[in-house]
Amino acid sequence: VAPTTPVCEVPSSAMTGTVVQLSCKETEGSPPSEYQWYKNGVALLEKTGTGSARIPNITYTMNKKSGTLLFNTVTKDDTGEYFCEASNGIGLSQRCSVKRMQV
Which of 82, 79, 5, 10 is closest to 43 using CA atoms?
A: 82
Query: pLDDT (tens digit, 9 = 90+) per residue, 38-78?
Result: 999 999 987 655 544 555 667 789 999 999 999 999 999 99
Q: How confident is the model over 7-18, as pLDDT tens digits?
A: 999 999 999 999
* Beta-sheet strands, E only, within 1-90: 7-9, 20-25, 34-39, 42-43, 60-63, 68-71, 80-87
The total number of structural domains that make up the chain: 1
Query: In CATH, what number is assigned to the domain containing residue 72?
Result: 2.60.40.10
In a domain, 67, yes or no: yes
- State which residues form the domain around 31: 7-101
> What stretches of the chain show up as alpha helix (H) in DSSP?
none
pLDDT of 56: 61
1 within domain boundaries: no
> For 27-36, how does the pLDDT look when each residue is reduced to its tens digit (9 = 90+)?
999 999 999 9
Is residue 22 in some structural domain?
yes
Res 52: pLDDT: 45
- Specify if 52 maps to a domain: yes
pLDDT exceeds cutoff 50 at 26: yes
